[in-house]
Amino acid sequence: MSDALYRQTLHAMEAEPGPDHPDLAPVLANLADLHRARGAMDDARTLETRARAVRTASVRPDHPTLTILNR
């Protein structure tokens, strides 16, 4: 998926179901991976931090998806 499509999905999901909804975390993480692959490390870290915060707020501390996001 391209950067533009991830951003379009991100903006749509921020509007509904909302900016803190757990389903947003994978979109943020995937967009971070895309930025990392392109060498945009600062952008990737910002997106990863947000993905982690969204996911952490919605699951138990030992949930497997946190392990993936904390890689």
pLDDT digits (tens, 9 = 90+) for 33-57: 999 999 999 999 999 999 989 988 8
Instruction: Please give the pLDDT value at position 10.
Output: 87
| The two three-digit tokens of residue 50, written as one number | 């947000």
User: What is the pTM (predicted TM-score) of this model?
Assistant: 0.80
Residue 29 belongs to what H/E stretch?
A: helix 24-37
Averaged pLDDT for residues 18-41: 92
- Residue listed under structure tokens 């803190």: 20
What do you get for the CA distance between the two ends of the chain, in Å? 22
Residue 61 binned pLDDT confidence (cut-offs 50, 70, 90):
confident
Residue 59 binned pLDDT confidence (cut-offs 50, 70, 90):
confident
Residue 34: give the domain boundaries. 3-69
| The two three-digit tokens of residue 32, written as one number | 């971070």
Give residue 28's identity as a one-letter amino acid code. L
Name the domain count of the chain: 1
Show Cβ contacts of residue 57 under 8 Å, excluding neighbours closer than 6 positions.
20, 22
